Structure 1
Amino acid sequence: MRTQRKYCSLWSSVVRSWRSLAGQFLLFQLVVVAVVLTTVAAVSVTQSTKEFRDVRGQRMIAVAENVASTPLVRDRYADPFAAQLLAPDVDRAVNLSGASLAEIIDPAGTVRASSDPLRIGATAQLGDSNVTAGRAWFGDVDIDGMHSLVGHVPLLSTNGDVLAIIAVSEDYPSVWELLSGAGERLILYLGLGAALGMIGSWLLSRRIKRQTRGLEIAEIASLADHREALLHSIQEGVVAVNNEGEITVLNDSAQDLLGLAPDAVGRHVDDVAIDSAVREFLLSGEDVRDVVIATPTRVLALNRRAATSKGQQIGTVTTMRDSTELASMQSQLSSHKSVTDTLRAQTHEFANQLHTISGLAQLGEFEAVTEFVGTLTRRRAAISDAVTQSISDPAVASLLIAKTSLAAESGVALYLAPESHLSALEPAMATDVITVLGNLIDNAVDVSEGSAAAQVSVAISDDDDLVITVEDSGTGVPEAMRESIFSRGVTSKTDVPGGRGIGLALVRLVSAQHGGDAAVSDTTTGGAVFTVRLPRIGAVDV
């Protein structure tokens, strides 16, 4: 019983080894080697058979002609005792030629004399021979169940009649005899080829097993299926690019975020239709984290890391997530912060004014108090009137009033161009206009603070499209940055740690979502002019 279990265990181990990837590959290679060897052997046998038929067929005819030319055969072929009289001649033909059988056959097909006495009187099989027409012939004929090569020569009378048929035949050699006849070297080469093929197959199977980390076919297929499922189910976009700049992996989320089709895999990054900033990012090789890039339709946060194999870099893997909503929330928080800062500035200003009023009252200067309060009221009304006379939308007007006070605290004068005009907007459009205007003003105030003129000019027009223009007194935007400043989360201010960037990215995003555009140019005095065009949305009644 123990021996039986040991045998079963050994057999199971052998079966498992042949089921492995390396075992299957070895088996496949052995089959290929066997097929090649069989083909070579078959070709060799075919060639040897053809050579045997051509050479020995002519030899059989020659021997038969020699027998036919013997005077005794010509004289005694029809003798009743021909079998005994001619036996030495047919035996000599067999002995001299190495043939298997020599016979003299009458025209009716009866064997009259034969090297095999048992065939005397039997009916000979002539096959496809045309010897009865008086022509010599050689070919294949089955004699007593043996496939033989036969040569037929007619014994002719003086007037050309066939008197008898001389048949000399030789059995076809076996396959092994044919292979042996092809030479011992062929057997040696076949054996050597088989041995080398098996050794090479075994070595190759071992290498494949090492390269596949010992994983079998089912395990590799399962890993590939899990990889595809994971890549295409995660919410973050994943893009892998090899060292040649070709896209090797692109999951569903990345296709959606970048607007690409699945056939982008295998193509060079330069050959697919994606935003230029994203293309430049994908082709860069450094490891970076949380880079914000605004495309015309989305704000993307990207991370890139180098992919290595055996210590060699094979490309990069970039992950990306849609931060559009996050950026919008950041913009809203910035707007709330702006209002908070404005209230804080106004609180500080009102506190100073209350202290002044309190002091005047304590001194009994009531007329001065009245004059001071009137001045403050007129100044505050002038600011509100200057805005509300041109801007009918209350949300936009409130933003401009708040930004005017906030800019003043930073030492920057904010002006609304007298020719500005804006009707009341739909709530959704008003929110987008506030996002664009608030970010442009904040950016302009930042770069204008500390400059000689220290002023920001805002112009709004809705005659055709809604056009917003914000001009600052800063140092301008270098021409090389005029495209990337809207895309990459950068800023033209060198003294702002980390840059602002996201605000301008939102400006371009909002304008693109409405089918408009955003651009920047220089003023004649060296500052920058940001111009945003939005398709006009019908005004509402107020």
Structure 2
Amino acid sequence: MSKTLARQFLGWQLGIVGLLLVAVTGLAVVQSNAAFRETQGRRMLSVAEDVAATAGVRESLATRSHGPLPALGTSARNLSGADEIVIADAGLVVRSAADPAEVGEPFPVGESTAPSGRAWVGNPDGSTVVAHVPVLDDRGRVVGLVAARAEAPSLLSGLLAAPAPAAALVGVAVVLGVAGSLLLARRVRRQTLGLEPAEIVELVQRREAMLLGVKEGVLGLDGANRITLRNAAAAELLGIGEVGARIDELDLDERLRDVLTGAAVGEDQVVLHGSRVLVLNRMPVVVDGAQVGAVVTLRDRTELATLEDRLDASRHVTDTLRAQAHEFTNRLHTIAGLTELGEHEEVRRFVAGVVAGSDQWRREVTARVGDAAVAALLVAKASLATERGAQLRLALGSRLDAVDPARDPALSADLVTVVGNLVDNALDAAGAGWVEVGFGREGDAVRVTVRDSGPGVASELVEEVFRHGFSTKAAEHDAGGRGLGLALARQVCLRRGGSITLRNDGGAEFTACLPLAVAA
């Protein structure tokens, strides 16, 4: 069973305290040895000088009467407290020593300068201090030398001999180290919500597996709107890199930034980002009653929006056919009634008028709109406008020449998307008024203009309708998704490298620019 976090911290802290104590002890030993060499060196030199100056030692060495020297050496060692006092004659033969076996043996002088008449203090083996002092006769000649030696105490002896306050400080340090370790471990455990290291690792691994397994994009934000986590889907949808960046530092659309930071609230926020239609949901993260961040989920609705647009187009075609059927039914009923009344001349005039009215719009559209799909769309929209009591007309001078499908095969479908959505939006705004559609060329691009006689768009909403991708503020709550039409039209223009703008000129006027595809 693995150790708990508290035990691991306790073990590490005790190890650190132990290392510190070893380091302090080592430093104390080094300082003690240095002090010992300095203090004991002076002391041993003083002892050796006193023995060398003793009249009995000088006389015995000068007369070579060595008998009294052992007694003199022992007495001096007992009085001085030196560990050993050695007396050697002029020939450097030991005459007095603590070990009787050394008497008569050569005295090892090493680097000593005492034989030449100068006192010397040294530390030959690192653990002892030795002082050599020459013994001079009345004429100043060297007749022998005296060596005094003191041994340094062992480490254990030094610790045992240490004063009580020092030992108490060591004990206090150990107690404080253990207490601090326990408090630190308790604090860390509380900050990690009681999770052990293995549990934290497992939690992180599960989080990574979950983020990788989620198809939707997931963003984690902290209280300062910095990205703390993101999965691959979110990075792909938003085009963001590593975590740590602030939302306001990224090159994002204002609408997208508002949703990510929480400035725009609500469920299933629709946002355009590049050529994608994204649906975002932002959920705040609350810990202990305080908001510490948020989690944002992103879904790519581009394909679904395209399918919805196609379904919406099919619905409009159905509505148009229904309107035409209703209109034709009413006309048939009128013709039948006139026939029963015997008004045959009136029937002829009525039929001629109906045919002339229908043919006039059809001839005008086919003559000025070269794209068959767009022309068919306008013919169908005219019937829908008639049912609503509105008028659909072409602007003066409008002309749309057909473009070779081999050069730009997607232009016709894109024009249908843009024109259809702009006309639908205009018919909703115009009511029983009029809607005017214009076409033209701007260099190597097609220009589409749609005006209506409606109330226009409030100046403060001119940019917002494209930023939000809705036709009006009320359209944000349109269950039918009508407001997404402007978003799709804008998406088509941006995908082609064009633009779509809105201005008020008696009513709303939308202008879309669709550049032609570059010839291969």
TM-score (norm 2): 0.91
- Structure 1 residues 340-368: Cα deviation after superposition (integer angstroms, max 9, x where no partner): 11111111111110100001111222222
Structure 2 residue 413 is matched with structure 1 residue 413: no
| C-alpha distance in 2 between matches for 1:386 and 1:195 | 100
Aligned partner letter, 1:27: G
Alignment-derived partner of residue 32 in structure 2 = 48
Structure 2 residue 151 is matched with structure 1 residue 167: no
| C-alpha distance in 1 between matches for 2:373 and 2:362 | 13
Q: 1:422 to 1:107 in 2, by over 3 A?
A: farther
| C-alpha distance in 2 between matches for 1:168 and 1:241 | 79
Alignment-derived partner of residue 359 in structure 1 = 337
Structure 1 runs not aligned, ≥5 long: 1-15
2:90 touches 2:145 (CA, 8 Å); kept in 1?
yes
Structure 2 residue 177 is matched with structure 1 residue 197: yes
**How far did residue 149 of structure 1 move?**
1.6
| C-alpha distance in 2 between matches for 1:134 and 1:254 | 92
| C-alpha distance in 2 between matches for 1:488 and 1:106 | 113
Spell out the pairing of 1:42-441 with structure 2 (5 A cutoff): 42-77=26-61, 82=66, 84-106=67-89, 109-142=92-125, 147-156=127-136, 162-262=142-242, 265-284=243-262, 288-425=266-403, 426=405, 427-441=409-423
2:58 touches 2:137 (CA, 8 Å); kept in 1?
no
| C-alpha distance in 2 between matches for 1:462 and 1:338 | 28
| C-alpha distance in 2 between matches for 1:365 and 1:249 | 80
**How far did residue 481 of structure 1 move?**
2.7
Structure 2 residue 445 is matched with structure 1 residue 462: no
**How far did residue 157 of structure 1 move?**
5.7
| C-alpha distance in 2 between matches for 1:514 and 1:160 | 116
Aligned partner letter, 1:432: D
Q: 1:154 to 1:193 in 2, by over 3 A?
A: same
Structure 2 runs not aligned, ≥5 long: none
Q: 1:346 to 1:120 in 2, by over 3 A?
A: same
Alignment-derived partner of residue 9 in structure 1 = none
Of 485-494 and 379-388, more deviation after overlay is shown by 485-494
**How far did residue 200 of structure 1 move?**
2.3
Alignment-derived partner of residue 3 in structure 1 = none
Aligned partner letter, 2:15: V
Of 530-539 and 403-412, more deviation after overlay is shown by 530-539
SS in 1 for 2:237: helix
TM-score (norm 1): 0.88
| C-alpha distance in 1 between matches for 2:18 and 2:386 | 93
Aligned partner letter, 2:60: R
| RMSD (Å) for aligned C-alpha atoms | 2.5
Q: 1:347 to 1:126 in 2, by over 3 A?
A: farther
- Structure 1 residues 259-318: Cα deviation after superposition (integer angstroms, max 9, x where no partner): 1122xx112211122222111222227863200011222111000001122332211111
Q: 1:415 to 1:224 in 2, by over 3 A?
A: same
Aligned partner letter, 1:54: E
Q: 1:230 to 1:121 in 2, by over 3 A?
A: farther
| C-alpha distance in 2 between matches for 1:496 and 1:193 | 69
Of 400-409 and 374-383, more deviation after overlay is shown by 400-409
Q: 1:181 to 1:286 in 2, by over 3 A?
A: farther
2:259 touches 2:269 (CA, 8 Å); kept in 1?
no
**How far did residue 214 of structure 1 move?**
4.4
Of 108-117 and 154-163, more deviation after overlay is shown by 154-163
Of 253-262 and 287-296, more deviation after overlay is shown by 287-296
**How far did residue 537 of structure 1 move?**
3.9
Residue of 425, 437, 446 corresponding to 1:443: 425
Aligned partner letter, 1:141: P
SS in 1 for 2:15: helix
1:285 touches 1:306 (CA, 8 Å); kept in 2?
no
| C-alpha distance in 2 between matches for 1:50 and 1:422 | 104
1:300 touches 1:324 (CA, 8 Å); kept in 2?
yes
Aligned partner letter, 1:399: L
1:101 touches 1:116 (CA, 8 Å); kept in 2?
no
2:254 touches 2:467 (CA, 8 Å); kept in 1?
no
**How far did residue 413 of structure 1 move?**
1.7
| C-alpha distance in 2 between matches for 1:479 and 1:130 | 108
SS in 1 for 2:268: strand
| C-alpha distance in 1 between matches for 2:178 and 2:260 | 47
| C-alpha distance in 1 between matches for 2:365 and 2:216 | 45
Aligned partner letter, 2:210: L
| C-alpha distance in 1 between matches for 2:111 and 2:255 | 85
Alignment-derived partner of residue 5 in structure 1 = none
Q: 1:126 to 1:209 in 2, by over 3 A?
A: farther
Aligned partner letter, 2:439: I
Q: 1:481 to 1:122 in 2, by over 3 A?
A: farther
